[in-house]
């Protein structure tokens, strides 16, 4: 057996991409609630004020809020042992600044976690998955303001105490390293106070982004330390969107440029969160790019005291890096890169690289030597119903099979991989395009980009295939 006996198989979602019920039971407006739908060619827009000209896909999403029992029962039928989901901050603190949590919001997650428990499923909870209360953008310019650390801690303390008997595994910030990139401005550092319009027109301010990221590092470390002192049964993880760059050629310039890119995009945040300090290369990067981070006395100590217990990451693609500007480029979720002639791409142009997953797993484990979980991976594809009315998604099965094979190889290489939660185990709203048409699920949801659909759920072929994989603990991949 390649996979360890207690390997955790499951799936992953995020609140804003599945729950809907965006204004129910006291919930406040979160950043995704002001994002319009787009497509592969039309960028999403930030449009506060709920302009009737636009569609806001998070408002209904797949209505997990009212379908969670059915959905969790389907996950259990597939054999899930773990379900990664996020808590929507604005259900608990609608503007982020209330003194007391919203009881109705807490009750919803109580029900969800109890439902998981009744099905023997372990929740893995992302505390902040691109879901900042929008009021904190308008008032504080997002995470650029240090006061968000205390507001985050208030939120953390409320959910830790309430769910202490239901949840063991927690992740502080989803893809925290998005903050090292321009795309993180909208999703994670949220420094876009006063902006509205197309995301392509959003200005980048690296100095603000890195300052915001510093505040997130402190917030994460403080939450981890707090947990270690008050809830020693919890396990706290970091979450990185891993991009895995190869040098395009063996030209030393390409190799060094790749090293630098990987340091700041793939390693920087986890070096801080796992090792507990800013790495030397980041200091050079800041100096050369005119970035100076304001730290308070005690910040460095807090970072060393709040290191995480396990490492998690999302893995969709890899890129090449070339110093030759003529080399063809391709796109991805957080960033693009040079096209790799050896790889095929998804319907959305994302490069598919199963062997790259084995390589990344080895690199991560060699560096940190702590347990690892893959908390997102999957194929966003157009699913078309066949004449028999079913979705025969052999392309998704192939994708997953090849990635799981490489996970098995990595485990045989000695990597301590403890779990796998493929993304969008049930169809949901795409983050980058806001589409429903980009489907990841093993469960199909009758909901479409024109707003039609009755939210009914159907099993795709991949549902039955993954069920077999889990039942055989990763041995039967046929």
- Measured from the CB atom, the residue of 44 and 262 that comes closer to ligand BG6 is 44
Q: Which stretch binds ligand BG6 (CB under 6 A): 29-37, 58-66, 317-325, 428-436?
A: 428-436
Least CB distance to ligand BG6 at residue 186 (A): 12
Least CB distance to ligand BG6 at residue 473 (A): 26
The contact mask relative to ligand BG6 for 187-226 (x = CB under 6 A, - = no) is ----------------------------------------
Of the candidates 33, 60, 175, 383, which one interacts with ligand BG6 according to CB under 6 A?
175
- Residue whose structure tokens are 């902040």: 128
Question: Is 423 a binder of ligand BG6 (CB under 6 A)?
Answer: yes
Residue with smallest beta-carbon separation from ligand BG6:
432
Question: Is 333 a binder of ligand BG6 (CB under 6 A)?
Answer: yes
Q: How many CB atoms lie within 10 A of CB 70?
A: 15
Question: Is 431 a binder of ligand BG6 (CB under 6 A)?
Answer: yes
Taking alpha carbons only, the member of 176, 178, 184 closest to residue 204 is 184
Question: Is 430 a binder of ligand BG6 (CB under 6 A)?
Answer: yes
Question: Is 174 a binder of ligand BG6 (CB under 6 A)?
Answer: yes
Which residues ranging from 335 to 364 are in contact with ligand BG6 (CB under 6 A)? Answer: none
The contact mask relative to ligand BG6 for 232-251 (x = CB under 6 A, - = no) is ---------x----------
Q: What residues have CB less than 8 Å from 477, skipping those under 6 apart?
A: 401, 404, 405, 469
Of the candidates 177, 220, 314, 377, which one interacts with ligand BG6 according to CB under 6 A?
314
Q: How many CB atoms lie within 10 A of CB 140?
A: 20
Nearest-Å Rg of the Cα atoms of the chain is 21
Would you call 376 a catalytic residue per the annotation? yes
Least CB distance to ligand BG6 at residue 428 (A): 7
Token pair of 54 as six digits = 């636009």
Question: Is 302 a binder of ligand BG6 (CB under 6 A)?
Answer: no
SS3 label, residue 8? strand
CA distance 312 to 240: 6
CA distance 310 to 442: 27
Residues in the interface with ligand BG6 (CB under 6 A) total 14
| Helix (H) / strand (E) containing 358 | helix 354-368
Q: How many CB atoms lie within 10 A of CB 285?
A: 17
CA distance 230 to 296: 25
Would you call 60 a catalytic residue per the annotation? no
Q: Which stretch binds ligand BG6 (CB under 6 A): 223-231, 275-283, 296-304, 430-438?
A: 430-438
Question: Is 128 a binder of ligand BG6 (CB under 6 A)?
Answer: no
Set 122, 131, 302, 376: catalytic member? 376
Angle between helix axes 64-78 and 461-471 (nearest 10 degrees) is 50
The contact mask relative to ligand BG6 for 435-474 (x = CB under 6 A, - = no) is ---x------------------------------------
Least CB distance to ligand BG6 at residue 14 (A): 5
Taking alpha carbons only, the member of 62, 173, 162 closest to residue 114 is 162
Set 60, 131, 175, 208: catalytic member? 175
Q: What residues have CB less than 8 Å from 364, skipping those under 6 apart?
A: 242, 270, 311, 313, 372, 415
Q: Which DSSP category does 80 fall into?
A: -
Question: Is 376 a binder of ligand BG6 (CB under 6 A)?
Answer: yes
Taking alpha carbons only, the member of 289, 364, 380 closest to residue 331 is 380
Q: What residues have CB less than 8 Å from 323, skipping those under 6 apart?
A: 251, 253, 254, 257
CB 308 within 8 A of CB 325: no
Binding residues for ligand BG6, rule: CB under 6 A, are 14, 17, 174-175, 241, 314, 333, 376, 380, 423, 430-432, 438
Known catalytic residues are: 175, 376
């Amino acid at each position: 057996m390649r996979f360890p006996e207690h390997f955790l198989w499951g799936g992953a979602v995020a609140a804003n991409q599945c729950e809907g019920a965006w204004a129910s039971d006291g919930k406040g407006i979160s950043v995704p609630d002001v994002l319009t739908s787009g497509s592969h060619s039309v960028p999403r827009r930030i449009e506060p004020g709920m302009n009737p000209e636009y569609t806001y896909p998070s408002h209904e999403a797949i209505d997990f809020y009212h379908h969670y029992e059915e959905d969790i029962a389907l996950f259990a039928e597939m054999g899930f042992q773990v379900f990664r989901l996020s808590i929507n901050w604005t259900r608990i603190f609608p503007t982020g600044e209330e003194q007391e949590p919203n009881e109705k919001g807490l009750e919803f997650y109580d029900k969800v976690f109890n439902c998981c428990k009744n099905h023997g499923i372990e929740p893995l909870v992302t505390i902040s998955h691109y879901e900042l209360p929008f009021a904190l953008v308008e008032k504080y310019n997002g995470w650029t303001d240090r006061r968000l650390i205390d507001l985050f801690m208030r939120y953390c303390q409320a959910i830790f105490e309430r769910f202490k008997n239901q949840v063991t595994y927690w992740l502080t910030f989803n893809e925290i390293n998005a903050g090292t990139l321009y795309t993180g401005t909208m999703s994670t550092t949220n420094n876009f106070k006063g902006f509205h319009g197309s995301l392509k027109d959003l200005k980048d301010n690296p100095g603000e982004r890195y300052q915001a990221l510093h505040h997130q590092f402190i917030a994460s470390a403080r939450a981890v330390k707090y947990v270690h002192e008050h809830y020693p049964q919890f396990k706290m993880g970091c979450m990185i969107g891993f991009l895995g760059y190869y040098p395009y050629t063996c030209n030393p310039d390409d190799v060094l440029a790749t090293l630098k890119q990987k340091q700041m995009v793939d390693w920087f945040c986890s070096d801080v969160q796992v090792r507990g300090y800013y790495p030397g290369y980041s200091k050079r990067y800041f100096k050369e790019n005119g970035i100076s981070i304001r730290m308070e006395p005690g910040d460095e100590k807090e970072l060393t005291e709040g290191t995480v217990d396990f490492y998690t990451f999302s893995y969709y693609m890899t890129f090449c890096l070339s110093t030759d500007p003529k080399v063809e480029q391709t796109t991805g979720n957080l960033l693009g890169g040079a096209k790799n002639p050896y790889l095929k791409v998804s319907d959305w142009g994302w490069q598919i690289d199963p062997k790259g997953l084995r390589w990344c797993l080895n690199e991560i484990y060699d560096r940190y030597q702590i347990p690892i979980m893959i908390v997102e991976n999957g194929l966003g594809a157009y699913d078309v119903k066949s004449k028999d009315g079913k979705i025969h998604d052999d392309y998704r099965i192939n994708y997953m099979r090849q990635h799981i094979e490489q996970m098995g190889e990595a485990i045989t290489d000695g990597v301590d991989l403890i779990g796998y939660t493929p993304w969008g185990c049930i169809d949901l709203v795409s983050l980058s395009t806001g589409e429903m048409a980009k489907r990841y699920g093993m469960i199909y949801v009758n909901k479409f980009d024109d707003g039609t659909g009755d939210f009914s759920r159907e099993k795709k072929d991949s549902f039955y295939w993954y069920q077999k994989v889990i039942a055989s603990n990763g041995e039967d991949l046929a």
